[in-house]
């Protein structure tokens, strides 16, 4: 009886050691993946900050004004002034389409056929 108890205890210890070994490697893999994702996020944030700086540089008002003046003949752009803007209620939005319903409806299966 004692031998069976010792054998069961040894097998339980071996099984738990194997489980702990596998969990240790799974944890290390997860930590490496998390570190790689954090590195990717940091690189993406750095690229985003560079792109924002470039966007701000390219959208300088004096540069845009010079481009508008340079391409005035081709594009017909003019400088923005406060008088150039209006209110939303001054915008003429298109009216919704009006459907003429006379009570008959043609379907694709009955179009062009006579009963």
pLDDT attached to residue 84: 76
Sign of CA dihedral 17, 18, 23, 26: positive
Q: Which of 2-6, 28-32, 84-88 has the highest mean pLDDT?
A: 28-32
pLDDT (average), residues 2-27: 95
Q: Using pLDDT thresholds of 50, 70 and 90, give the confidence band for residue 33.
A: very high
What φ, ψ does residue 97 adopt, rounded to 5°? -65, 145
Whether residue 27 is predicted with pLDDT greater than 70 in this model: the reply is: yes
Query: What is the model's pTM?
Result: 0.50
- Beta carbons within 8 Å of 78's beta carbon, 6+ residues apart: 68, 72, 84
pLDDT digits (tens, 9 = 90+) for 53-73: 999 999 998 898 888 888 888
């Amino acid at each position: 009886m004692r031998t069976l108890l010792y054998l069961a205890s040894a097998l339980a210890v071996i099984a738990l050691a194997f489980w702990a070994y596998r969990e240790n490697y799974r944890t290390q893999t997860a930590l490496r993946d998390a570190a790689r994702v954090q590195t990717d996020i940091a690189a993406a944030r750095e690229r985003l900050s560079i792109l924002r700086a470039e966007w701000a540089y390219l959208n300088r008002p004096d540069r845009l004004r010079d481009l508008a003046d340079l391409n005035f003949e081709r594009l017909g752009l003019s400088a923005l002034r406060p008088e150039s803007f209006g209110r939303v209620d001054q915008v003429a939005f298109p009216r919704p389409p009006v459907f003429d319903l006379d009570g008959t409806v043609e379907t694709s299966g009955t179009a062009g056929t006579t009963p």
